[in-house]
Each structure stands twice: as C-alpha cells, then as structure tokens.
Amino acid sequence: MRAGASAFLIVACYAVLGCKATASASLKTGADMETSTDEAPNGESLVSDSALQAEDVALLGARHDVRFSAAPAATCRCLAVALGGANDAGISWRSQVPELDPTTQLVIVLSSDGLPCAEAPKDSLGASYWGYRRAGDDVIVVVESARDGRPVTAGAIIPKPTGSGRVYVEPLRAGVPYGQSLSTGDKRCVLGNPGPTRAASTPPAPAAEAPSDGD
C-alpha cells in the first residue's frame, strides 16, 4: 500500500434474501483495490455509505439472487452489463425484489455467458462480481475471473455516484479481460449514472470491525 492513501471500509455481504443483518467490516488503506490479491474475499469498499442508508432499504453489497436477463451483448470487453433500478430491463431476481433508495442506490448485474472471449484465462468459469470502491464522485466496480471453489456472483447493490460521477467497471488484476473497455487500450469501461443526480455529502468517519467470512 502507498503511504498516505485513503481509507476504505471493506464490507462483505453474501445475503440472498434481502440482507437486513448488520454487515461486518474491516478497515483497509490503499489508493487502489487492485493492491489486494485475487484470493481476497468478495467485498465492497465504501466510505461509510451504509451509515447513510434508511433502515427499510436493502444493504449495499454482493447479491447472489440477482441475474442478468437480457440478450447477451457486450457492454464491456467479454462482459454484458445491466445498471439501474431493481426492476429495470436486464435485471431479474430469484427471490423477492429488494427495496432500494433510487436517489442513493443502483443495481449492477453482469454476465459473460454467451459472449466470445479469446482473452479469458483457460481455467476461468466466467466473470464474477468482486467488489467496488469509491473514487471521488465515481463508483468503480471490480470484476474477477471465477474459478473452482469460488462462488460466481452476478451482481450487487452499489452506491449511486454523486454529482457528475459515473459508474465504471474494471478487472481485478492484469490478465483478466472482463470489464475492460471495448476501446483498445482503455482499462476501464464507462457505464454512466442512470436516474436522478445524487448530491455530494460528507459521511462520518467509519469504525473498524472484524471482517466476516460470509455464509
């Protein structure tokens, strides 16, 4: 990690039915989540977004009950993506549709099924959501290459970017093609920021807690 880097609160949320329990967290430092290894648990980095959520809306984090339901078409390299509200096109749920705050939350769903990807690692089981981080007004979603022994996660509830910020997708590490831009040489794929503009706010300092191993 680089000295003086910003602090991120890593939140693991493996809920499948609404995830109303309090999420455990650990405090890490680093300017970029890619400093974590690809063996790290599926997690979300945020700046105390959970403290700003209303109690009756779903928690931020990975969702194992959401699926990509649109026709496969590459949004990013080797990856189809749907981004929006819980009931938007391309987003389907295996359980009850969670309640979201449309002013502060978005759903992102991704899939590599049915898409040609010559650059995919030979042992890859496809693309899997790994986590996200905040970078100024932007939200950057990180995608990993799924392997045996690791659950494939199709999506998550993420914080809505503030101000003129946008949602980006990028691979967890070099050698993973999922989430790169369709434009040659661009590391990140730009998705945008659907819905109403979210005003910027200054969240309280997060408290560090022990990390959770998930379910």
Spatial contact of 172 and 180, defined as CB atoms under 8 Å apart: no
211 within a domain of the structure (yes/no): no
Strand 7-11, strand 44-46: pairing: antiparallel
- Listed in sequence order, the DSSP H helices in the chain are none
Percent of the chain with pLDDT over 90: 52
* Residue 22 counted as domain residue: yes
Q: What is the mean pLDDT of residues 48-65?
A: 74
- What is the pTM assigned to this prediction? 0.70
On the question of pLDDT at 51 being above 80, the answer is no
Q: Average pLDDT, stretch 98-107? A: 95
19: pLDDT strictly greater than 60: no
Which position has the token pair 């509200």?
85
Whether residue 87 lies inside any domain: the answer is yes
With 90 as the cut, is the pLDDT of residue 90 above it? yes
Max mean pLDDT among 53-67, 111-125, 199-213 falls in: 111-125
* Residue 127 contacts residue 178 (beta carbons within 8 Å): yes
Instruction: Report yes or no on 200 lying in a domain.
Output: no
The tens digit of pLDDT for each residue in 28-46 reads 333 334 333 344 444 444 4
For residue range 144-190, list pLDDT tens digits in order. Answer: 998 887 778 999 999 999 999 999 999 998 888 999 999 877 889 99
Terminal alpha carbon distance of the chain: 29
Q: Is residue 213 part of a domain?
A: no
pLDDT at 196 over 60: yes
SS3 51: helix
- Residue-level pLDDT at 56: 81
Residue 68 lies in a domain: yes
pLDDT at residue 50 is higher than 70: no
Q: Which residue has the higher pLDDT, 107 or 205?
A: 107
Contact 179, 170 (CB under 8 A): yes
Domain-located, residue 86 = yes
* Amino acid at position 72, single letter: P
- The residue range of the domain holding 178 is 7-192
What integer pLDDT is reported at residue 21 of this predicted model? Answer: 36
- pLDDT score for 3: 43
Q: Per-residue pLDDT tens for 112-140?
A: 999 999 888 888 899 999 999 999 999 99
The rounded distance, in Å, linking the Cα atoms of 177 and 189 is 11
Name the average pLDDT for the chain.
76
**Eight-class DSSP state of 86:** T
pLDDT at 15 over 60: no
Burial of 45 (0-12, 13-18, 19+ CB in 10 A): buried
Q: How many domains does the chain have?
A: 1
- Three-state DSSP at 52 gives helix
Four-residue CA torsion sign, 17, 23, 24, 27: positive
Query: Residue 203 falls within a domain, yes or no?
Result: no
